[in-house]
Each structure stands twice: as structure tokens, then as C-alpha cells.
Amino acid sequence: MRADRLIRLTLLLQNEGKLTTVELSQRLEVSERTILRDMDALSASGIPVYAERGNRGGWRLSEGYRTRLTGLKASELVTLLLSTHSQLLSDLGMNNSFQDAQQKILAASPATIHPTIQSIRSKIHIDGASWHPQEQNASQLELIQEALFAEQKLCIVYTRDEGKQSVERTLCPLGLVAKRSVWYLVGRVDSSEHEQHQQAELRTYRVSRIEAAIQLHEPFTPPADFDLAAYWEQSTRQFRHTLPHYEAILRVSSNLLSRIKQERFIHILQLEPYEQDWWELKLDLATSQYACQLLLGWGSEARIVHPPELKKQVVEAAHQLIAAYEQDS
């Protein structure tokens, strides 16, 4: 509804200050033209909103203006109460604080919506953990978090190359990111080491691979233009581009297709029916070795159409497997 959007728009400007038309359109998922119309509507209703022109311009509320339209609806309260990952909060030592905040939010909300909230919470439970929990050593997380908020440098010993090599780095910690239940530290290599690492001033470190960390109690000033979310998005995009790609065209049974669709590391590029209960599809299988392993496991439910070298590789691997079992018998 437009009224809800106008309230959200007003609260965004109140809480975050100046925002451009583009930023507001992205946050509210509407067109820029709609934002301009909404600004006219806010101004006409007496909300003191104005535009700053120029390259650094944007929309603002007059200084000192505060809206009182801050009452929460039941659906909004539920999203706040459900949107958490208890393990991540526990890692940061914030689980008790979050539970206290939940109780304060409920206490401040109208009593008339409490039954609705409790009903929804009794029917929805979010478990962010996987079925096979990863062994993650986050013993250094508390110290890293302390240095991060104190804006003090860290000296870390980091394991890389699958545990074959350890390196020491002095970092200015800029942020922590949780990907599912895995923590990553984003840091800037200390200026004293920067000459040796010109191409890697900003780096990402998996916290579970940090063997040791020492807070140096040396203050630093974070870059004023550093945006953790934007950096992570760009870093993730670059990482995806470096992943290997190996395309193959297969014909698979309907039963196998349903299983392939549930695989996390298989990307279906094209899909079309072939004949009864069979499908032809193009897959991205990362590498030929990985593709060969999958096809051996899929057995007669898959047929290779292209490339021919993959068919040859699977046939050779199958003969070797048969020969090995015949020798054992």
C-alpha cells in the first residue's frame, strides 16, 4: 500500500539521513518516478522533505524533524522476533542481549497484538544449522570482535593452502561477516606491510583458520568510504567468477532430474523434455573430474551427449572400476 511505503520512506530518511532517488527506489523496490511522486505527496502532506542538488545530493528531512509514526504492526514485530540465527549470536556473545531485546519489544507493543505474535511464533521456527554441522574453530572470534569495535590493530597467524602453510599478518580489522554459520574477517593489511602486498590491501580471512590472534592496542582509523556489505558483495561476485566451469549435455531420467535439482553444486543451464520420463539438459559441473565422479554414481539413469571426451573418461573409469573388483574377487 502507498501509505505504508510513505511511512517507510519517511523513516528511512529520518534514520539514515540523506538518500538519493536511486537508493530509495532500490530500498523500496519501486521506480525512481514513483519515488519522485511520493516526495511530492510527502511535501503536500506537510512533511518537511527537500532535495539537495549536485553530485553529492539527495533527499533529506529538515533538521530536527522526527516523525511519531513508529508503531509496529504484528507482521513487523514477527519479522524482528524471527530474523535471527541463535548460533551466530551465541558466537558473538549476544544471545542473552537479543532475548532481552525481544522481551522489551514485546513489552512495548500493544497487548492486542500479542496473541497474533505468539500464534505465528508457535507455528514458525527457523533453524539455520545444516544437517552436518561443520567443525569450526572460532576461538579467536571474541578477541577479533573486541579489536574490531575498539578500532585497534590485530596480529594474526593464518593457515592457508589446506593447512600446509601458516602466515603472519598485521591487520586493521574492518568487519566480520557470517556466511551461513561460517565467520569471515575482513581486514586491511597494515601500512607497514602494504609495500609487500600491493595487490591485497583488503583481504578476507576465514576465522576458523586463524590459529592465533593478538590485539596490539594500536589504534587505527577505518576508511571513511568503506562499506562492509558492498565490499562483501563485490568480493563474492569476484570469487564466483574464479570458480571453474565445465559444461556437459546429458539425458537423464525424471527420477534423476529431481535429485539433480536438489544438488547445491550443480547448475542447470538448459532443460527440455527428450522423451517419456527422460530429459535433456545442459549442466555446469565445475570440472571434468567432478563430472566423471557424478556420472559413475548416476549409473544408467544418465547418458552423455556432449562432450565426447567426457564419455571416454567415464568409460575408462568404469573399466578400471570393474577390473579392480574382478581382481579382488
Tens of pLDDT, residues 228-276: 988 998 988 888 888 888 999 999 999 999 999 988 778 899 999 999 8
Pairwise CA distance, residues 179 & 322, whole Å: 42
Would 131 be classed as within a structural domain? no
- Residue 322 belongs to domain with CATH number: 3.30.70
Query: Which residue among 207, 242, 277 closes a domain?
Result: 242
The domain of 251 spans: 247-328
Task: Residue 102: count other Cβ atoms within 10 Å of its Cβ.
Answer: 15
What's the mean pLDDT in 162-186? Answer: 86
Query: Which residue among 226, 242, 258 closes a domain?
Result: 242
The confidence score (pLDDT) of residue 311 equals 94
Domain count, the chain: 4
251 and 232, same structural domain?
Answer: no
- The answer to whether residue 134 scores a pLDDT higher than 60 is no
Query: Which residue among 36, 61, 86 closes a domain?
Result: 61
224 and 160, same structural domain?
Answer: yes
The confidence score (pLDDT) of residue 172 equals 93
Cis peptide before 222 (omega within 30 of 0): no
154 and 202, same structural domain?
Answer: yes
Would 89 be classed as within a structural domain? yes
Q: What percent of the chain has pLDDT over 70?
A: 85
268 and 313, same structural domain?
Answer: yes
The confidence score (pLDDT) of residue 138 equals 62
234 and 151, same structural domain?
Answer: yes
- The answer to whether residue 195 scores a pLDDT higher than 60 is no
| pLDDT bucket at 196, cuts 50 / 70 / 90 | very low
The confidence score (pLDDT) of residue 199 equals 43
230 and 150, same structural domain?
Answer: yes
Would 150 be classed as within a structural domain? yes
Would 258 be classed as within a structural domain? yes
322 and 278, same structural domain?
Answer: yes
- C-beta separation of 99 from 80 below 8 A: no
200 and 107, same structural domain?
Answer: no
- The answer to whether residue 93 scores a pLDDT higher than 50 is yes
Most confident option among 34-43, 50-59, 118-127: 34-43
- The answer to whether residue 71 scores a pLDDT higher than 80 is no
Would 56 be classed as within a structural domain? yes
Pairwise CA distance, residues 6 & 9, whole Å: 5
117 and 178, same structural domain?
Answer: no
The amino acid that residue 191 corresponds to is: S
205 and 172, same structural domain?
Answer: yes
- The answer to whether residue 9 scores a pLDDT higher than 90 is no
- C-beta separation of 248 from 304 below 8 A: yes
Task: Report how many helices (DSSP H) and strands (DSSP E) the chain contains, helices first.
Answer: 13, 11
In the sheet with 182-189, reading across from the earlier edge strand, the strands are 202-206, 182-189, 165-179, 152-160, 210-219
